[in-house]
Structure 1
Amino acid sequence: MSQDTQPAYRRILLKLSGEALLGEHHYGVDPAVLSQVAEEVCELSRRGVEVGIVIGGGNIFRGAGLAEGGVDRVTGDHMGMLATVINALALQDAIERAGRFCRVMSAIRINQVCEDYIRRRAVRHLEKGRVVVFAAGTGNPFFTTDSAASLRAIEINADLMIKATKVDGVYDADPFTQTDARRFDRLTYDDALERRLGVMDTTALVMCRDNELPIRVMNMFAKGDLQRLVMGESVGTLVEGSRQ
């Protein structure tokens, strides 16, 4: 791919699950996966794409899971928010080691390790070519990091939200257990909502629909796919408005 080719998107929001950082481990962060993600993100930044990232914390704690075990849900969600800060700091370090400036902005105050989230400051960081990692979800319990990703993408006026997963798009069944599962090239928001396809949670999807923010679901670990997607190729599954 020529370095002179212009990206199809000026600004994107990349949603990463915490589980994506596990790699071959059962808990925590796999340094090899962290390095791979950082290199992919840095390559986009070098091409002039403004990159925001929302990362989950499921590799460390999941608030909903803790609640099922008897922990107070609000307390569990706060623990989950702190887990996303840990992941965000790890990703910041990997991105800066790979050669790009990166800022972590938290929805909860934790000034000694990262900045508070302020929308105008986040946009300014992006305009200056810095990668911005948004941590601590929305700062509120009961909201998933999918919802946080939709919210931040809309707030920063992203052209596209990319949900990075371990599969190459959205299927009508689990492709790991059902060999006849069918992958969709394109869906409408309403299709995804009505068929409960698990693209994102309902709140996140409705926010994207109401603000006309397109979503791409793709495999983060298929080498080169993220670059091809941002350069305009059809990769993964596109979720957008009504069919023409």
Structure 2
Amino acid sequence: MPASSSSAVRQPDDALARAPQPVAPVRPILDMPVHDLGWKPALALLEEKLTENRGLTHIAFLNANNANVMMRDPDYREVLGRCLVLPDGIGVDIAARFLHGGRFSANLNGTDFVPAALTFITKPLRVGLLGATSEVLQDAARNFRRHSPWHDFVEISDGYFDRADPTFILKRIEQARIDLLLVAMGTPLQEKWVDKHLTGDHARVVISVGALLDFVSGRVPRAPDWVRQLRSEWLFRLWLEPSRLWRRYVLGIPVFLAHVLRHRFRQPSTLPG
């Protein structure tokens, strides 16, 4: 990757150039194009993006909570529009059934997608980790190294750096010569931060991963396999952290479904037949 000043401000034309071109069928959810890919095509697409020299690809995920944020935050919607967006969770599957007559080909949530990608891609990568607390970051890096030791995991920083002046962090990322950068700072901050500050000089692919590092570190347990197979991991998380997550799930899911219903009845039918 060519060297350049990490403090350079990206021009509007660059933002337009970064808007992902459709690489697969999309199913718009609340007017946000979401790529409809099975597991193998999605992993192959990521591998392809990591070998291209076409600037930065920013991958984000759309779930019910992110969609609610998008509906009340136009700036976040614009940022997502410049990302390659993948479907995450049963909420967007319900929306896809109602709006398009069928669910997404796969539930490509970041908590499963990133570890699967690190296993799928056998060419050694330099993978940067940015976000969470320093303890979580260290534990996640250690577990990633056990999971896929042929990759080189670089601990860039926890998520508590100076947001007003990220020059030091941007320089660290650039000097680390990262292929894949995982940013775990929470929605919508992580997506906005990546969109504002990072370019192809920092990484080939950046994935906004939310709570992934918490799970990989082992500090937050995943739901049992049978719960995940029932698409009910959100209930398990709510049981673990009711005070933090009740608003997201107990209030957020009905709000999301209301957005979908309102959207469906305001738009011409897109259902087949």
Give TM-score scaled by structure 1 length: 0.33
Higher helix share: 2
| Bigger Rg, which one | 2
Higher relative contact order, structure no. (Cα contacts within 8 Å, ≥ 6 residues apart) = 2
Higher strand share: 1
